[in-house]
Amino acid sequence: MRRLSLEAGAVIMEVYEREDRGVREKDDASPVTEADEAADALISKGLREAFPGIPLVTEEQASTHNLDVRTFLIVDPLDGTKEFIKRRGDFTVNIALVEDSVPVLGVVYAPAKQRMFITPAEGGAVEELGPFDADRVGETKAIRVSQPDAGALRVVASKSHRDQATDDYIARYDVADMVSAGSSLKFCLVATGEADFYPRLGPTMEWDTAAGHAVLVAAGGHVLDKSTHEPLGYGKAEFRNPFFLALASGVPLVSE
């Protein structure tokens, strides 16, 4: 998973540096680029060869997924396409393994920012510091969520999908600092302790969240259904998420 994320990142950056990034609209009017499709083809081929017995779900092949599954691989080959198009750099490659509806392994790689977050097989979560060799893991450091101050929370929210409902919800908390970030990097900022809380009151799909979810939980955090405050599960109808809260332990949960 790590090697494929690096190889996909290299393909993405080749397109990123070009003037024409092959942008077009999908049937749902969301943007897709040549980089999304090339990264998807590379990762899909690699995962199917390595894990032929495990179902694979990817964003770019979503129309082919009529699966009722609890254990599967799930990929967003380029999460944060809008950030990619605007050359903001906050885009990631997300690859995760879901077992019994729970993301248990994840890799989040931000090639433009040269940040990589991994859940090693032995447990916990790490940030790899580089150099990013596809065949050998570089220097890593263990990451852990913060011990938040409920009276001075650090909140991270979406750059491209921020709305009034999200702002209204955040206003119910005592916030000391607000950071905007794109893609699944928001989960990782909570995982590293750079933020305490990421509320998402907008549409997302499971491929948007699974890898970051795995990293955050491995770092001691939680990803909860906003309405029930139960852990967010995977393998849902159409792989669509409800609103959710990604947070460190100690962030208070505001009652509905």
pLDDT in tens, 59-94: 888 766 667 889 999 999 999 998 999 899 999 999
157 lies in the same domain as 138: no
The pLDDT, as a whole number, for residue 29 is 60
Q: Cα–Cα distance between 111 and 132 in angstroms, integer?
A: 10
Q: Cα–Cα distance between 36 and 22 in angstroms, integer?
A: 10
99 lies in the same domain as 218: no
Among the three residues 142, 164, 198, which one is the final residue of a domain in this structure?
142
The separation between CA 118 and the C-alpha centre of its own chain, rounded to angstroms, equals 12
User: What domain range is 240 assigned to?
Assistant: 153-247
217 lies in the same domain as 102: no
31 lies in the same domain as 132: yes
DSSP string spanning 148-213?
Answer: --TTSEEEEEESSS--HHHHHHHTTS-EEEEEEE-TTHHHHHHHTTS-SEEEE-S--BHHHHHHHH
203 lies in the same domain as 100: no
Q: Is 68 left (phi over 0), alpha (psi -120 to 50) or beta?
A: beta
Mean pLDDT of the chain: 92
* Distances 213 to 85, 184, 220, 224 between C-alpha atoms, Å: 25, 9, 11, 10
Domain count, the chain: 2
CATH for 190: 3.40.190.80
Tell whether the model's pLDDT for residue 35 goes beyond 80. yes
Quick count: other Cβ atoms within 10 Å of Cβ 255? 6
Tell whether the model's pLDDT for residue 255 goes beyond 90. no
> Average pLDDT of 143-148?
98
Among the three residues 107, 142, 177, which one is the final residue of a domain in this structure?
142
The pLDDT, as a whole number, for residue 69 is 85
Structure tokens of 251? 């962030």
Q: Cα–Cα distance between 73 and 210 in angstroms, integer?
A: 10
The pLDDT, as a whole number, for residue 47 is 97
> Average pLDDT of 135-146?
95
Sequence-separated (6 or more) residues with CB below 8 Å from residue 47: 1, 4, 54, 56, 73, 75, 95
Question: What pTM, to 2 d.p., does this model score?
Answer: 0.94
- For residue 110, is it within any domain? yes
The pLDDT, as a whole number, for residue 244 is 96
- For residue 252, is it within any domain? no
